[in-house]
Every structure is written in C-alpha cells, then in structure tokens.
Chains A and B, each alone.
Chain A
Amino acid sequence: MPEVSLFLADEEAMVALGKRIAGVTQGSGLVFLVGDLGAGKTTLSRGIIRGLGHEGAVKSPTFTLVEPYEIDEVRAFHFDLYRLVDPEELEYMGIRDYFDEDALCLIEWPDKGTGFLPKPDLTITITPHEHGRLLKLLPQSARAESWCAALALEFK
C-alpha cells in the first residue's frame, strides 16, 4: 500500500488525528514520527496518548528520553531521541524491552537511533504546508496498512 497524505489545518485537527490513530492501533505498535523542530510531532503524540484515554499532562520526553504511560490494559511509551548523543545509549537503556510486549511506542527523531531500532509499523512524516501541516503516513507492516486504510477513509 502506498503512503497516505493528509492535510491538517491546525493543532486541533492534529490532535483529532492523534485520537484516531490511538483508535486504529488499539494501543499496539511502533510508530516513527519524523519532522523538524516545531513540526508538530509532540502535538500529534499528545493526541495519540490522550486518545488512548490518558487524562493527565503529556510531558515532553526530551530530557528523560522516554515517558511511560499505563492506561488500563494499555502501555504506551513516548520517546524523544533528539538529545541522544550516541545510538548505543539505547542499548544501555534496554531499548529492546520496550518492543517485546506490543506496547504502543511513539518515537520522535528515530534517525538518532539508527541501527538500534527495529523496523516500525508506521512512519509519519510531518511538514509545514501553507498554514497547516502535511502528514505522510507510510505503512511498513500489514497491520499498519489496515490502520492507514481506515484513516484515509476518515480524513480524505
């Protein structure tokens, strides 16, 4: 399945898409979030985490590298690898443990972890476009193809 392109006019639309991503993934999978500083990766992540049912604040994981969430039966991890000095640090923090049990893992700046991250289900690339954002959703697994098909129907 080719990638899906969506235009989102504002932050509200970004959060709404995040909620739907939470819905289609049902709290499982590995999602890479690609885009420059300020592109809206964290906004989208906030929408996804809220969409899973989290009610508190969604903190930036820039400093701690990962923020964990436990929402009923669902476990989610929001990573921000921007400050990672060496991808090998991921090995020291037991990165593989996060992918074992099919939690939902959102990874901002995945290129900083090249060589230490598995292939994602889905890569979302965010770029500024006019006054909003253009999102490209590239499915890289069978389940992500069905997520994208569902999202494409709703957001076209």
Chain B
Amino acid sequence: MPQTKHEIPDVQHLLPGHLPQLAARSPDAHKGQFGHVLLIGGDRGFGGAALLSTESALRSGAGMVSLATRSEHVSAALARLPEVMTVGVHSANQLMGLLEKNSVIVIGPGLGEASWGKSLLSVAANAKQPQVWDADALNLLAAGNVSLPANCVITPHPGEAARLMGITTAEVQADRLNVARALSRKFNAVAILKGAGSLIASPDGRVSQCDQGHPAMATAGLGDVLAGLVGALLAQGMPAFEAASLAVWLHATAGDRQGTFGRGLAASDLIPAIRQLLEEQSPCLK
C-alpha cells in the first residue's frame, strides 16, 4: 500500500485531561517552596517586554519574582508591580550579585542586542540555574559565540528559529516538526517552536503539539507573556518539557478565550486568563 503523509505517532497532542499538572499546595505552603524567578531584560525602549514577562511570572504562581532591568525602568516597574523586586542594573558585575537568590532565570524580553544585553547574557550563560531564553537572547545566541547552559527552554518564533538553524523562515514553516526536533538537539534544550500549532521538542525525543490558539493573538508582547509563564512553572518544580508544554497550552487556550472578544487583544489581557485556566487545570487546593 502506498504510504501517504501521516502524523508521526510520537507527537503528543496537548489535550485537557492529558496535560502535566502542578501538585496542589499544602495549607501551610510558603513562598520559598515555589521558586524565585529572575527576569533579565528591558533595554532602553523595550522596558514593556520585560515587564509583561515579569507580570506573567508573578501571576502564574512563582513564589517570588525579581526583575533586573535598565534603571530608567525601575520606577515604572515598581508602580505597576510592587510585589516584584525590581533592580536597575548597569553591568554584568551588578547582575552577578543578584543571581545567588534565584532559582530560575528568564532572559531575553527586551534585552536588545547592544553591549548592555550582551554583557548581561554572558552572566546568564555562566549561571547554573534552569533558564528560559527568549527573544533577543535567541538572536544573540544565533549571532555569536554564546553557549546555552544546561536545562534551558528556548522559545523561538519561526524567524528566530530560522536564525538559530541558519535556514530561511519559509524552510522552518515547511517542516516545523523536524525543525523543532533539530533545535532541541542542536542546543540540548527544550525548544518551543511558536506559531500556529506550536511544537515543544525535548532533546530526549519527546514532542508535543498544541492545537489551540486564535488569530487575535497575532500581536506584540504575547511571547513575553509565554516566557514568564514557562519560568513560573519551572520555578514551581515542573521539569522543562512538562513546563514548556503546559505553558504553551495555557497560553494558547487563554488566547482562545480572549479571542472571543475579537481583535485588539493586548498581551496583558492574557495574564488573568492564564491564571484562571491554571486554576481550572491544576487547582491550588486539593
């Protein structure tokens, strides 16, 4: 019988009831049990990206959240998110002083590709914590001599994936499954290949796919929200592949819900919708 194109069987579709779950919290839980996410990003002109990511991490259950950003953005960040420890950093030297306290690093949203962002990335690249590399961190990873530490999640959209693999965006889109796998192998990291039908690939060969999502999600800042969400799930103890898979499903399904209101979805609208979905999917109490 001639073989027609068919689904490769080991792609797990993300469906309610078959998703990774966070354990319920015990009544005497304390913040120290749910990790401390450090968000690094927000060069001049891109402060909002870092802030969206930070808010997303905070609202997805991380025990503590810190933000290391340009000092010009500190007062705006404090006004919006007083729960977050926001620190203005000029240099790699200052950033190093903050690292010890954190359990997960999210780097890239609004990081830029100038000397400030590069020097901060060199600190993350030498740090031991599990990390999420997003946005400009991926462009820097593609451009130069930076190596990704172990236990990372990378979150490229098709354009970033193309730069990381040295191919065109069209080539990425033509063969998304294999590109997702190749990304995870090349960087020895869990790779989220974003775009309609997001794929999550693990270096151990597992792949999951998310069929949720809405065209109203085609707007700026959505990726920043996803990066913060992955960071928060990692901080709460979920392994990288599970955290990436659940984050993508929550993000896309929240987009479906918010998409019912039509065009004009703002990335920050997604954050309360994600919180609600996470509670439905992984209730805080037993």
- Report which A residues bind B (CB closer than 8 A): 59-70, 75, 77, 84, 89-90, 92-98, 100-101, 103
Query: Who on chain A is nearest to B91 by CB?
Result: A94
Q: Smallest CB–CB gap between B84 and chain A, Å?
A: 21
Q: Which of B89, B115, B118, B121 lies at the interface centre, i.e. has the most chain A CB atoms within 10 A of its CB? A: B115
Interface string of B96-128 (1 = CB under 8 A from A): 100000000000000000111011011101100
Q: Which of A59, A75, A94 lies at the interface centre, i.e. has the most chain B CB atoms within 10 A of its CB? A: A94
Say yes or no: A97-B91 contact (C-beta < 8 A), given A63-B143, A70-B96.
yes
Task: Judge whether B119 and A103 touch: CB under 8 Å.
Answer: no
Q: Can you report 7 residue pairs joining A to B where beta carbons are below 8 Å apart?
A: A64-B118, A64-B145, A68-B96, A68-B126, A75-B96, A94-B89, A94-B94
B93: contacting residue among A61, A84, A101, CB under 8 A: A101
Residues from chain A with a CB closer than 8 A to the CB of B196 are none
B118: contacting residue among A65, A77, A90, A97, CB under 8 A: A65
- Nearest first, the 10 closest Cβ-Cβ pairs linking A and B are A94-B90, A94-B91, A63-B144, A97-B91, A64-B122, A93-B115, A63-B145, A89-B115, A97-B93, A64-B118
**Is B146 an interface residue when CB atoms closer than 8 A count as contact?**
yes
Known: A63-B118, A64-B119. 7 other contacts (CB 8 A): A64-B144, A64-B146, A69-B126, A89-B114, A96-B90, A97-B94, A100-B93
Say yes or no: A103-B145 contact (C-beta < 8 A), given A64-B119, A93-B116.
no
**Is B92 an interface residue when CB atoms closer than 8 A count as contact?**
yes
Task: Judge whether B145 and A68 touch: CB under 8 Å.
Answer: no
Residues from chain A with a CB closer than 8 A to the CB of B92 are 66, 68, 77, 93, 98
Say yes or no: A77-B93 contact (C-beta < 8 A), given A65-B119, A66-B119, A68-B122.
yes
Task: Judge whether A59 and B96 touch: CB under 8 Å.
Answer: no
Residues from chain B with a CB closer than 8 A to the CB of A94 are 89-91, 93-94, 116, 119
Task: Judge whether A67 and B116 touch: CB under 8 Å.
Answer: no
Say yes or no: A98-B96 contact (C-beta < 8 A), given A67-B122, A68-B122, A92-B115.
no
How far apart are the CA atoms of A90 and B92 in the complex, in Å? 12
Q: Smallest CB–CB gap between B100 and chain A, Å?
A: 10
Chain A contact residues, majority secondary structure: mixed
Q: Smallest CB–CB gap between B133 and chain A, Å?
A: 14
Query: Who on chain A is nearest to B121 by CB?
Result: A64
How far apart are the CA atoms of A84 and B118 in the complex, in Å? 12
How far apart are the CA atoms of A60 and B145 in the complex, in Å? 8
Residues from chain B with a CB closer than 8 A to the CB of A68 are 92-93, 96, 122-123, 126
Q: Which of B90, B91, B116, B123 lies at the interface centre, i.e. has the most chain A CB atoms within 10 A of its CB? A: B91
B115: contacting residue among A65, A98, A100, CB under 8 A: A65
**Is B75 an interface residue when CB atoms closer than 8 A count as contact?**
no
**Is B147 an interface residue when CB atoms closer than 8 A count as contact?**
yes
Interface residues of B in 111-161 (CB under 8 A from A): 114-116, 118-119, 121-123, 125-126, 140, 143-147
Interface residues of B in 202-234 (CB under 8 A from A): none
Q: Smallest CB–CB gap between A61 and chain B, Å?
A: 7
Residues from chain B with a CB closer than 8 A to the CB of A67 are 122, 126
How far apart are the CA atoms of A117 and B123 in the complex, in Å? 21
Q: Smallest CB–CB gap between A29 and chain B, Å?
A: 15
Task: Judge whether A92 and B145 touch: CB under 8 Å.
Answer: no
How far apart are the CA atoms of A29 and B147 in the complex, in Å? 28
Query: Who on chain A is nearest to B143 by CB?
Result: A63
Q: Smallest CB–CB gap between A17 and chain B, Å?
A: 25
Residues from chain A with a CB closer than 8 A to the CB of B116 are 92-94
Residues from chain B with a CB closer than 8 A to the CB of A61 are 122
Q: Smallest CB–CB gap between B178 and chain A, Å?
A: 28
Query: Who on chain A is nearest to B145 by CB?
Result: A63
Residues from chain B with a CB closer than 8 A to the CB of A90 are 115
Query: Who on chain B is nearest to A60 by CB?
Result: B145
Q: Which of A61, A93, A98 lies at the interface centre, i.e. has the most chain B CB atoms within 10 A of its CB? A: A93
Query: Who on chain A is nearest to B90 by CB?
Result: A94
Residues from chain B with a CB closer than 8 A to the CB of A60 are 145
How far apart are the CA atoms of A100 and B125 in the complex, in Å? 23
